Amino acid sequence: MSKTLIFIELNNEKIKSGSLELLSAAKNAGQEIIAICFGPASKAAASEAFQYGANEYYFSEKEIMSVYNPEAFSKTISTFLNDHKPQLVLASGTQLAKDLFPRVAAKNKTGYTNDGIELTISDSNVAVRRPVYAGKASAEIEFKNSDCNIVVMRPNQLPVNSPDTSANGEAKEIAVPEMDLKTIIKSVVKGASEKLDLTEANIIVSGGRGVKEAGNFKILEELADTLGATVGASRAVCDAGWVPHSMQVGQTGKTVAPTLYIACGISGAIQHLAGMSGSKVIVAINTDADAPIFEKATYGIVGDLFDVVPQLTKEFKALLG
C-alpha cells in the first residue's frame, strides 16, 4: 500500500469539495492516506477527513499558519514530506495550492504537474491527464516509481464518496519548524460575498459584454441566488471594471468545471472557452446566433438576456419553491 498525502483546505470550517474529491480518489485506489490542514478550525475538521478516508490527520492552528504565508507553508510541508516520505501528494487546484506546491516541488526536487482533469493511481504508478493548447488537446503525464510526486487537480473532476460516519481517528498537531520569515502577513481583508469560490461552484451564472453595464449584473445575481449559484464574468467585463477580477473565468482568470454553466451575453472567445469548456452542461444566451459560444453549448437560447434571464429566474423560482 502506497502512502498519499492530501492537502486539505477549508471553507466556513468545512472541508472544500475539491479536497473531498481527492480523499475519495485516494481511498478508492487503496492508498494509505495522510491528511494535513492549516489554520483556524483545522483541528475540528479532522472528524470529517476521517469519514472520507484519512488514516492519519495532522493540523496546525498556530498564528503563523492561520493565514497563507508562502514561506511558512512551503517550509512546513517540505519538512513534513522529508519526515513522512509519501509517494504522492494531492492538492485541489485553488489559487493557494497553485502558488504553494510549485515552491514545495522546487524545495524537495519532486515531480510536479497541475490542472489535472483525470487521475489514475495504481500501486506506485500515477497518471494524470491535463488539457493543453487552451483545451484543444490533452496530455497524459505519468509518474513511475519515484520517491515523491505532486499533483494539483482541478476541482469538480472526481466523484465524492459517501462519508463513513463510524470512522474516526486522532488529530495530531504538526511540528512547525523554526523559520526566519522574509514575509509577514499583517492583515487579511475578506470579500463581502459568502458564495463559493468559482473553482468550487457547482452552478455558475456568468456575464459578458452583452450585460452592457455593471448595474445590470443584478439580473444575473437574482438568477444565481435562485439556483444557489456563483456569478462569474468574462475578461472584457472585468477589465472594464464592472466586476472584480476575482470573478473572471477564462485562460487568464479562473478555470472552472461546474455541473451547470449559464453564459449570458458571452460571445465565446477562445480565452473564455478555455476556462469553462470542462463544464458538464453549458447553457448559452446570446442575440447572435453565430456566436462561437453556441458551438460549445449543450443548450442555446438565441435571444436578449434582458428578456430571457428574468424569465428563467421566474420559472426556477416557481419550480424550486
| Sheet architecture: strand order including 281-286 | 230-233, 203-207, 260-264, 281-286, 299-302
For 72, 150, 299, 303, the CA distances from 289, given in Å and listed in that order, are: 52, 44, 12, 9
Q: Where are the beta strands (DSSP E) in the chain?
A: 3-8, 10-11, 14-15, 32-38, 56-60, 88-92, 111-116, 118-122, 125-132, 137-144, 149-153, 171-173, 203-207, 230-233, 260-264, 281-286, 299-302
Q: Is 210 left (phi over 0), alpha (psi -120 to 50) or beta?
A: alpha
Strands 260-264 and 203-207, sheet pairing = parallel
Q: Across-strand partners of 152?
A: 91
Residue-wise pLDDT tens for the chain (321 aa)?
Answer: 689 999 999 988 999 999 999 999 999 999 999 999 999 999 999 999 999 999 999 999 998 999 999 999 999 999 999 999 999 999 999 999 999 999 999 999 999 999 999 999 987 789 999 998 878 899 999 987 668 999 999 999 999 999 999 999 999 999 888 888 888 887 777 665 567 789 889 999 999 999 999 999 999 999 999 999 999 999 999 999 999 999 999 988 999 999 999 999 999 999 999 999 989 999 999 999 999 999 999 999 999 999 999 999 999 999 997
For 10, 82, 93, 97, 180, the CA distances from 17, given in Å and listed in that order, are: 9, 28, 11, 14, 34
Question: Can you tell me the distance from the alpha carbon of 190 to that of 229, in angstroms, rounded to the nearest whole number?
Answer: 20
Question: Can you tell me the distance from the alpha carbon of 221 to that of 313, in angstroms, rounded to the nearest whole number?
Answer: 10
